[in-house]
Amino acid sequence: MYSLKEFWQLRNLPFPEGEWDGNVICLETNVEWTFGTNETHGFLSCYTFTIVTRGWLTILYNNRELTLHEGDLYTYSPGFEVIVLSSSSDYSGICLLGDEHFTLSLPTVRDAIRTAYFMVVELTSPVLPLQDDDRHRLQELMQMMLHYQQTGLPHANESLRMLYNLFLTDLSAIQQHSIREHRFPKRIEEIFLGFLGLLPQHFAEHHDIGFYASELCITTTYLSRVVRQVSGGRTVVDYINQLLLMEAVFLLRQTSLSITQISDRLHFAEVTTFARFFNRMKGMNPREFRKGK
């Protein structure tokens, strides 16, 4: 998976002025830039929030075809493969990107999880139609980020982080007015976010629910119930498998590692087990996928 800095280098995009820490960045997008993301979608270890400012855009998100219209907010969550299918010729947007590990460490996200279907933890449709006032407020925050990126001031990174926190706080409030409110006890929130924090570090080596339950000092039954409750039905295995699949896709496309080496790196017992897993998740075996069939 690409970090935000690696993604920026891959796209040959100019870095912000000064010493950028790689946690948060904002940019204005158009048709050409958006279609170019097809090369890296699914490999990006960051959250992105895009407001459509003009035209429309159709994407394939987790095998669902969705159309974004002017005024819609689209959220990309790490671990989902997205393909841009089509757009109007005048499509434009403004996009905010936040590093995955940095985002999940923010107190703002811990507060936001209290709303059961908050998008940043992949709990609902990634498209949210915005009211005019909400849209203008979020866009103003994004424009401020664009400004600080261009200043090169010593405190620019801190300002970007503060504005990102404010953006997520505001988005959480918008969500609470947009969907039915459903609160969870603090302990439930802590367990779920603890699980999300462990996943990126251990999914390749540990495919079993027992490891994560042990790390969180709870039973497997309780962890399963918490994840299903907060995510609206997704299981622990769903989360693990999604990351395993995206890492496998990345290694098959972007490296020369053999399929056996990839299987070993992802800690499958046998290469045949890995092949069956990939075929079940992707509809073709790893060799066919690497050949582009």
DSSP labels, the chain: -B-HHHHHHHTTPPPPSS---SSEEEEEEEHHHHHHGGGTTTSB-EEEEEEEEESEEEEEETTEEEEEETTEEEEE-TT--EEEEEE-TT-EEEEEEEEHHHHHT-HHHHHHTTSTT-GGGT-S-SEEEPPHHHHHHHHHHHHHHHHHHHH--TTHHHHHHHHHHHHHHHHHHHHHHHS------HHHHHHHHHHHHHHHHHTTT--SHHHHHHHTTS-HHHHHHHHHHHHTS--HHHHHHHHHHHHHHHHHHH----HHHHHHHTT-SSHHHHHHHHHHHHSS-HHHHHTT-
> How big is the chain by its Cα radius of gyration, in Å?
19
Q: Quick one: pLDDT at residue 115?
A: 46
Residue type, 29: T
State the first-to-last Cα distance of the chain, in angstroms, to the nearest integer: 22
Residues 249 and 259: beta-carbon distance below 8 Å: no
Q: Quick one: pLDDT at residue 169?
A: 87
Sign of CA dihedral 151, 152, 158, 164: positive
β-bridge mates for residue 62, sequence order = none
What is the residue-level pLDDT of the chain in tens, covering all 293 positions?
678 888 888 777 788 877 889 899 999 999 998 998 887 766 778 889 999 999 999 999 867 799 999 999 998 877 677 899 999 999 999 999 998 878 877 777 656 554 433 445 554 568 889 999 999 999 999 999 999 998 878 889 999 999 999 999 898 788 766 644 456 788 888 898 889 888 888 999 999 999 999 999 999 999 999 988 877 678 899 889 988 988 888 888 878 999 999 999 999 999 999 999 999 988 889 999 888 75
Residue 271 CB contacts under 8 Å (≥ 6 apart), including other chains = 259, 260, 263
Angle at CA of residue 37, ends 9 and 245, nearest 5°: 95
Q: Report the candidate in 265, 45, 24 with the shortest Cα–Cα distance to residue 168.
A: 24
Q: Quick one: pLDDT at residue 123?
A: 46
Q: Quick one: pLDDT at residue 112?
A: 59
Cα dist from 210 to 100, 153, 172, whole Å = 24, 47, 32
Residues 61 and 110: beta-carbon distance below 8 Å: no
Question: Locate tokens 């390749």: which residue?
Answer: 204
